[in-house]
Amino acid sequence: MGLASHHVRWALFACCWLGLALITGQVHARDFNTIQQQGTLKVLYWTGFESYLPRAGFPLEQEKAAVSRFAEAHKLQVEFIAIENFDGLIPALAADQGDLIATNLTVTRERSLAADFTHPLAYTMEFLVARKGSAPAQVAQLNQYELAVPKGTSFVNTAQGLQKAYPGMTLRYLPSDLSTDQVLDKLVAGEIQLTILDGNTLSAVQKYRNDVTRSFQASGRRSIAWAVSKGNQSLLKQLNGFLVSENLAANSKPKIKPKNRWQKIKQEKVIRFVMRNNMASYFIWRGELHGFNYEMARHFAKQHNVRYQIIVAPDHKSMLDYLVDDKADIALGFLTPTAQRKAMGIAFSRPYHYASELVVARADEPGIDQVTALKGREIYVRPSSSYWSTVSALQKQVPGIKLMAVAETLETEELIDGVAENRYDLTIADSHILDLELTWRDDVQSIMALGDPKEQAWAVNARHGELLKVVNAYIGKQYRGLHYNVTYKKYFKNEHRLLKVRKDYEALKQDGRLSPYDDLVKEHAQKYNFDWRLLVSQMYQESRFDPQAESWAGAQGLFQVMPKTARELGVENLEVPENGIRAGVAYLDWVRDRAKYMNPKNDEELMWFALASYNAGAGHVRDAVRLAKQKGWHSDVWFDNVEQAMLLLSKREYARKARYGYVRGEEPVKYLRNIRKRYRAYQEVTDR
């Protein structure tokens, strides 16, 4: 998620400023030669399409990826600049705040007067959207409805046209800084009756929420394109050439019919990976996409000069079904080849990982040396998993073992939770998954390994032999190579996620100080109106007062800020204590401003919501707020309410319906409780 409120504050007075600038000749769009000389391409986008977990190629994610490839092809750095108000995009472009707009922008007559547009990237239609169960049954009933749309969007013109056709319909204009989900939340809450969305956006939204429904078509076919400043023909020419060469232009047609799946992938320049949303494969953290399998997929696509699309399967069995039905090209999920899977028409690559299958029990159980000790025990696993085959074979040796089926939607991590909570007797987990769990918990253990480590592979449809050859060649080159090893260590062997010895922070309390950096913290706390003791408590939680600390994801410094975020705040060298504190407090202030949209009960609750957003990302917190409302809990109170919803988001049945997907809810919950506990202690011994 871009952080650029300093880029968008001008939007409040953009029109006045722009008029003056045009008169004085101060605004000049950078042509392509100038962009190349300066080395940076500036791209404007709307924060209403902010970072979330893409499940099948959300429009903004596709556009940002394409722009990044264009920049890379021309050896340019790309700077994404967030614009909080949709109606601020065109003025920002005209004021030379950016070189182009890439944000699922509809081409309209009015916009074409102010900007030039590339070839269409897609065609879409606009649709009326209603709360589930409340859509008008007949088009004539629109006369009885209120239609609400954000100001500055193409939906305004569409709405005005509908009102002429249905004079009884009333129009309402919403603030232009509301995100798509915020508008839909108003719809579901009954605050508005109807709104309008582009068809491609609506299709993406309906992959994670089922509380809204498509109603009548509201417009004819519309073009989606990138916008450049009026008259900037040199940049426009380069962008159009790129769109055609990459088969991204909506009117691009393949000239030769592909002979096989791999040839089709190369021709269309898109490869589809299916995987699950979990900590081992694919997840979002602080607005950034992560996961071992996600990074392998991205690297594969880059190596072969194609775009990648991530499809999140609704359950584990569906991953392979997607391959059989040609809805995906490659399945990634540490899959063990089995006869049952091969019988489905699945082919497996050469191994890219090996893992032992471990019997997981509660931490207070004794270990065992013989499988006969499992007689009479219940082992809970998914029927589609390789664990099922393993235990089935084991039952022939030890007939008393009870094999218990669980839902295909459950992750291995959830089964481990069930064992820890005494809901399940035993389960099976791959060694790397259990190792990952044991970096933050101590209530479970492995009591036995079932045989030697097993190979795990990428999976493809058995009919796609050429694709399998390419995959095998890639794995042969990358397995245990530099990229593989660095990525694997990042997710499964990183020292930050293991218990490590640090100096006890109490030893740092010299002369009554809470930390070695109290004076710096106080300075920035006063600037942004924070209680400095709360900031010290957060700083300890983030880094244990170690300015050299770096997380597994690359967050750095005393407040563990991502370098990209720090640069957007104008801060470099986060290992310098003053810089790390300045970036962290400024970022928390920015997060606090955004948390206001979650409508916390009071200023104290606003602070907890802000800290939760700082840790887990605002998107996951918004998902938790929405879930808390659905549960009838206090959605404006963090502790014992929204935090409980956050815990539920680690369970598959809830994560699959959340915009931002799976989150290990225990981490932000513990994060806030630890900060609060320490903060209260600080309040007892120090003055504000």
Which range has the worst mean pLDDT, 41-55, 469-483, 623-637? 41-55
Q: 611-648 burial, b if ≥16 CB within 10 A, otherwise e?
A: bbbbbbbbbbbbbbbbbbbeeebebbbbeebbbbbbbb
The residue-averaged pLDDT of 485-512 equals: 55
CB of 170 closer than 8 Å to CB of 146: yes
pLDDT band at 505 (very low <50, low <70, confident <90, very high): very low
Which range has the worst mean pLDDT, 3-12, 120-129, 229-238, 593-602? 3-12
Which pLDDT score is estimated for 502?
31
Q: Is the pLDDT of residue 8 over 50?
A: no
Helices 518-528 and 532-543 meet at what angle, rounded to 10?
A: 120
141: CB partners within 8 A, 6+ apart: none
Q: In angstroms, what is the C-alpha Rg of the chain?
A: 27
Q: Render pLDDT for 217-254 as a digit per residue (tens, 0 to 9).
A: 999 888 989 999 999 999 999 999 999 887 777 666 55
Determine, yes or no, domain membership for 206.
yes
Residues 558 and 473 both lie in one domain: no
Q: Where are the beta strands (DSSP E) in 330-477?
A: 330-335, 346-348, 353-355, 357-362, 378-381, 402-405, 426-430, 444-449, 454-461
CATH code, 158: 3.40.190.10
Which range has the worst mean pLDDT, 56-60, 74-78, 358-362? 56-60
For residues 302 and 308, give the distance between their C-alpha atoms in angstroms, rounded to a whole number.
8
Which range has the worst mean pLDDT, 19-23, 317-321, 365-369? 19-23
Q: Is the pLDDT of residue 337 over 90?
A: yes
pLDDT band at 344 (very low <50, low <70, confident <90, very high): very high
The residue-averaged pLDDT of 328-338 equals: 95
Determine, yes or no, domain membership for 309.
yes
Residue 587's domain spans which residues?
506-685
Q: Is the pLDDT of residue 279 over 90?
A: no
The residue-averaged pLDDT of 276-304 equals: 86
Residues 636 and 657 both lie in one domain: yes
Q: Is the pLDDT of residue 1 over 70?
A: no
The residue-averaged pLDDT of 348-353 equals: 96
Q: Is the pLDDT of residue 15 over 60?
A: no
Q: Taking the model in full, what pTM does it have?
A: 0.63
Give the chain's mean pLDDT.
87
Determine, yes or no, domain membership for 77.
yes
Which pLDDT score is estimated for 251?
66
Residues 289 and 421 both lie in one domain: no
CATH code, 581: 1.10.530.10
Residues 664 and 592 both lie in one domain: yes
Domain count, the chain: 5
Which pLDDT score is estimated for 568?
84
Q: Is the pLDDT of residue 353 over 60?
A: yes
pLDDT band at 494 (very low <50, low <70, confident <90, very high): low
Which range has the worst mean pLDDT, 25-34, 79-88, 206-215, 481-490? 25-34
pLDDT band at 286 (very low <50, low <70, confident <90, very high): low
For residues 525 and 390, give the distance between their C-alpha atoms in angstroms, rounded to a whole number.
57
Determine, yes or no, domain membership for 482.
yes
Determine, yes or no, domain membership for 348.
no
Residues 513 and 601 both lie in one domain: yes
Share of the chain above pLDDT 70, in %: 89
Residues 62 and 97 both lie in one domain: yes
The residue-averaged pLDDT of 34-48 equals: 90
Determine, yes or no, domain membership for 456.
no
Q: Is the pLDDT of residue 688 over 80?
A: no
For residues 228 and 438, give the distance between their C-alpha atoms in angstroms, rounded to a whole number.
51
The residue-averaged pLDDT of 244-267 equals: 79
Residues 239 and 329 both lie in one domain: no
Determine, yes or no, domain membership for 347.
no
CB of 212 closer than 8 Å to CB of 127: no
Q: Render pLDDT for 514-557 as a digit per residue (tens, 0 to 9).
A: 888 999 999 999 999 999 999 999 999 999 888 998 888 789 99
Which pLDDT score is estimated for 179?
83
User: Torsion over CA of 363, 366, 368 and 371, rounded to 10 degrees?
Assistant: -70
Q: Render pLDDT for 411-453 as a digit per residue (tens, 0 to 9).
A: 898 899 999 999 999 999 999 999 888 877 889 999 999 988 9
For residues 159 and 108, give the distance between their C-alpha atoms in angstroms, rounded to a whole number.
14
Q: Name, of 55-59, 433-437, 493-497, 569-573, the range with top average pLDDT.
A: 569-573
Q: Is the pLDDT of residue 291 over 60?
A: yes
More confident residue, 686 or 685: 686
Helices 666-685 and 603-616 meet at what angle, rounded to 10?
A: 130
The residue-averaged pLDDT of 336-349 equals: 94
Q: Is the pLDDT of residue 310 over 50?
A: yes
pLDDT band at 578 (very low <50, low <70, confident <90, very high): very high
Determine, yes or no, domain membership for 350.
no
Q: Is the pLDDT of residue 340 over 70?
A: yes
Residues 273 and 301 both lie in one domain: yes
Residue 148 has φ and ψ, to the nearest 5°, of: -120, 130
Q: Render pLDDT for 144-180 as a digit per residue (tens, 0 to 9).
A: 999 999 998 889 999 999 999 999 999 999 998 888 8
The residue-averaged pLDDT of 51-77 equals: 75
Residues 564 and 677 both lie in one domain: yes
Residues 560 and 675 both lie in one domain: yes
Residues 542 and 586 both lie in one domain: yes
pLDDT band at 576 (very low <50, low <70, confident <90, very high): very high
Handedness of CA 123, 129, 135, 141 (dihedral sign): negative
Which range has the worst mean pLDDT, 27-31, 116-120, 225-229, 320-324? 27-31
Give the SS3 label for residue 502. Answer: coil
Q: Is the pLDDT of residue 14 over 50?
A: no
Residues 46 and 169 both lie in one domain: no
For residues 471 and 468, give the distance between their C-alpha atoms in angstroms, rounded to a whole number.
5
